[in-house]
Structure 1
Amino acid sequence: ASHDEIAMLEAAHKAEVISTRLRKLKKKAGRLRAEIRDMLFQAEALPDGSLRFYRKGTQQPGANGDGRTWRIKVGNFALKTDQLRMMGGGAVVGNIPRGLPAFSVPAFNVKVMIQLLPYAVIISLLGFMEAISIAKAMAAKTGQRLDPNQELIGQGLANVLGAMGKSYPVSGSFSRSAVNLQAGAVSGISSAFTSLAVVIVLLFFTPLLYHLPQAVLAAVIMMAVIGLINVSGFIHAWRAKWYDGAISIITFLATLAFAPHLDKGIMIGVVLSLGVFLYKSMRPSVATLARAEDNALRCAATHGLEECAYVAMVRFDGPLFFANATYLEDKITEIMLTKPKLKHIIIVANGINDIDASGEEMLSLLVDRVRSAGVGLSLSGINESVMTVFDRTHLRAKIGDDNLFATMEKAIAEVHSRTHEVGADHQCPLLTVCRLANAKN
């Protein structure tokens, strides 16, 4: 028993010794971690873009430093000497070349110009697109009138002059424009004074900007940009047309996601807007009209009005061209199938402000198809440009002047007498208000 007690005492002693050593090692490790955290480094940018680190104060004179103070990232786990991570904080503006660039006319090389032309076109379009979107935001904020042509001319001249100084392509800057507006600028004179201040700084004061923290510049830009966020604009667009509001929100979020590449967010907005425009152009509003309480001819489906069984008055809102010609044809065919007593169709062409060859050809075929089915066809409210196309293609002669009317009322007055027997339909929805039985007033 005494032998076991001695063994236990020896084991307890060894455990205590080990615990004491562990506590000392932990204290030492903590002290070393603190020393590592306090070690400061400076970085030198190498030609390949990588960084070489030196203990602060030991960097070679004339080295291309980035102006930041770096530390080794120390966590609570064991450090891997082959995978040390550096943290750099307090980024500053750094070195800014002093003086103005030397102006010279670029060499003209036709071969190089041909190679660069596609890229130059893309850059110019993106630059103008970004600048005009920024200008619209500023104009909406200040209530000023925006002239895109003047904006394009100014940007083009700036790029021509900038090329002589080897500058980057010139475009509008959202952040700088926001700061300029926040400072109280109301005219282009502010840009002239800004340019003069930049020239003076480049000539005499660039060393003073070396230690300017980039965080200060970021704060100035953020405070200026926040004032340009117009939430009510999104709400107004959504109330006007929900898809306009959705496009504006998607464009806003995409611009934030792709920052600082604002052109990508703008391109998404342009593509979405173009898609909606094409869809609306391919499927314009086609309405069958009837007489409403205000004595005007309005969409029967929207206002809960009965439609005439003998005469279909169809209004087409939009230019008639290749993309939507078949859509009108399908609607006319649908009306003919749903109205077995139909005798005449009046196409209200007030909204047709333009027509192309495909639209004219469709109308010509539609005249043949409708009349072969024993149904008459007339048009009202044709404008001069569309009538000119009808004259050139002899469609006017095919339709007949007795089926072309200046106004809807004249068309109804003439067609109604042809299609309605005396006393057969004294309650015609084209002449009097006839509401559907289940329609709400």
Structure 2
Amino acid sequence: HSPTVGMAALAAAILVGLRRRYGKILVAVAVTTLCSWALGFDGEVMGDIPRGLPSIQLPRIDFDIVPQLLTGAMVLTLIGLMEAMSIAKTIATKSKQHIDVNQELIGQGMANLVGSLFQSYAVSGSFSRSAINYDTGAATGFSSVVCSLVVMATLLFLTPLLYHLPQATLAVIIILAVLSFIRVKPLLVAWRVSRVDGATAVVTFVVTLAFAPQLHIGIFSGVLLSIGQYLFRTMRPHVAYLARHPDGPLVDANAHGLALDQRIAIIRFDGRLYFGASSFFEDKVLEVVSRLPDLRYIIIDAGGINRIDATGEQTLRRVVEDLRAIDVEVYFTRAKQQFVEVLERSGAIDYIGRDHFFDWNQHALEHLWDQMEPAYRARCPLNVATPQAESGSWMI
């Protein structure tokens, strides 16, 4: 429709031409509305807008329908909060402001409580409105108060003036405001940092565009992908088999080409020992047992275990029990307070043995070397690393 395209082009020209002036949107609305009225514009316009404000009315409380509304209310609340937080973080990134999430949620709740007295829809953030608000120079929350007062005045006295306002003008205003928030660089950075993070961002963006204006579908898809990625990552955390580096510290043997000791293995588990990662932890412990047939001692470096749940505690018991059955003793080092507290409450620390816990790996090694023949300590890879001339790796 040529007149519509022309009106949109006029609005865009005004907005771009006055891009550094805060009143550019008002100018674009006024000019295109006058042109629409004067030229008899036959495209889509705002038309009649009901005048006045909704009356205050206490909501009718009917407990019989609460079960029917509860599920939908919970979903609607979750969507509204996620959408509002997404919008707030996007604008905060651009404006370099700090977001107090709790305060934002309190504001959302208060707005919905007050809105219920006026039969309003569920209140949440609006990306297009927020983008326009920021684009016109708004810097604080007081801008929303001023905007609300202007909307109230418009509904009471000025609705006839908006009859001829072309909808194409509103579309251009929203498009240009939102375009300023499209940032490709973070997607590229996310892709370089992690292919999975980059793919999650791209999929979320595409889904959001495909199902617009239903932003909650895009948000839900991004949240589900992020949760799935998080679970997969925490279910298979990094596990290192430690050996002595020529510079002195105990490091990842595989990463530095170091040989494992044949009788003592130190395993560092860098993740939470919870139901999702327990079987992976058990597999890694059994893997080192299978790789080292002469193994007598395993030291679990628990410095990376920030949390352990009931399944993790049961896994520890089972691993200790199974290894004792084949004459392999398990020791723990660098265990954090929250890790030890769980074992204290469950009684696992007594089952494992309090004398099997040490503050540092070196303390545990000193204890184990004292139980072995003196000559072994001198050639143990956990004490002194020796280079192998053929491969350059470090081994016994």
State if a TM-score over 0.5 links the two structures.
yes
Matched residue, 2:374: 422
Q: CA deviation at 1:134?
A: 0.8
Residues 182, 224 of structure 1: 8 Å contact kept: yes
Paired AA for residue 287 in structure 1 = A
Q: Relative to structure 1, is the Cα distance of residues 246 and 94 closer, same or farther in structure 2, using a 3 angstrom cutoff?
A: same
- What corresponds to 1:395 in structure 2? 348
CA contact (8 A) 1:291 1:434 kept: no
Query: What are the superposed Cα offsets for residues 304-361 of structure 1, whole Å, 9 maximum, x if unpaired?
Result: 2222222111011222122221211111111111111212100011111222222112
2:314 to 361, 372, 381: 361
Alignment: residue pair count: 355
**2:72: which partner in 1?**
119
**Where do 1:341-360 residues align within 5 Å?**
341-360=294-313
Rg (Cα) greater in structure: 1
Query: Aligned residue for 1:286?
Result: 239
Q: Which amino acid aligns with 2:121?
A: Y
Q: Give, in whole Å, the separation in 2 of the partners of 1:404 and 1:354.
A: 17
AA matched with 1:150: Q
- C-alpha change, 1:424 and 1:387, in structure 2 (3 Å) is closer
Q: 1:236 to 1:392 in 2, by over 3 A?
A: same
Q: Distance in 1 between matches of 2:337 and 2:122?
A: 46
Structure 2: how far apart are the matches of 1:225 and 1:413? 64
8 Å CA contact 2:239–2:268 kept in 1: the answer is: yes
Please give the secondary structure, in 2, of the residue aligned with 1:319: coil
Please show how residues 141-220 of structure 1 align to structure 2 within 5 Å: 141-220=94-173
Q: 2:194 aligned with 1:252, yes or no?
A: no
Distance change in 2, residues 1:259/1:378 (3 Å): same
| 1:136 partnered with 2:94 | no
Correspondent of 1:96 among 20, 42, 49:
49
The AA in structure 1 aligned to 2:88 is A
Higher helix share: 2
Deviates more, 1:421-430 or 1:322-331: 421-430
Partner of 1:25: none
Q: Deviations over 1:35-87 (max 9, x none)?
A: xxxxxxxxxxxxxxxxxxxxxxxxxxxxxxxxx9xxxxxxxxxxxxxxxxxxx
Cα 1:375/1:215, change in 2 over 3 Å: same
Specify which of 218, 238, 244 is matched with residue 265 of structure 1. 218
2:258–2:393 Cα contact (<8 Å) kept:
no
- 1:434 Cα deviation after fit: 4.6
Task: Compare relative contact order (CA 8 Å, sep 6+) and give the higher one, 1 or 2.
Answer: 2
Q: What are the residue-to-residue correspondences of 1:377-392 with 2, within 5 Å? A: 377-392=330-345
Long gaps (5+) in structure 2:
1-35
Assess if the C-alpha contact under 8 Å between 1:350 and 1:380 holds in 2: yes
Measured against aligned partners, the alpha-carbon deviations of 1:173-212 in whole angstroms (never above 9, x if no partner) come to: 0011111111121110111111111111111111111111
Partner of 1:327: 280
Following TM superposition, by how much is the alpha carbon of 1:425 offset from its aligned partner in structure 2, in angstroms?
5.4
Q: Mark the CA change 1:140 to 1:439 in structure 2 (over 3 Å): closer, same or farther.
A: farther
2:383 corresponds, among 417, 420, 431, to 431
Change in Cα spacing, 1:98 to 1:282, as seen in structure 2 (3 Å) is same
* Alignment CA distance shift 1:431-1:440 (3 Å): closer
Any conservation in 1 of the 2:300–2:332 contact (CA below 8 Å)?
yes
Please say which of residues 276-285 and 204-213 is displaced more in the overlay: 276-285
State the distance in 2 between where 1:196 and 1:171 align.
Answer: 18
Give the alignment's TM-score, normalised by structure 2.
0.84
State the TM-score, normalizing by the size of structure 1. Answer: 0.76
Higher mean alpha-carbon deviation, 351-360 vs 331-340, is at 351-360
Instruction: Give me the identity figure in percent.
Output: 44
Alignment partners' CA distance in 2, 1:359 and 1:435: 38
For the structure 1 residues 433 and 221, does the alpha-carbon distance in structure 2 shift closer, same or farther, using more than 3 Å as the test? Answer: farther
Tell me if structure 1 keeps the 8 A contact 2:259–2:393: no
Q: Distance in 1 between matches of 2:350 and 2:301?
A: 19
Q: Deviations over 1:409-436 (max 9, x none)?
A: 22222223434x3334534332234567
In structure 1, the residue corresponding to 2:303 is in which secondary structure? coil
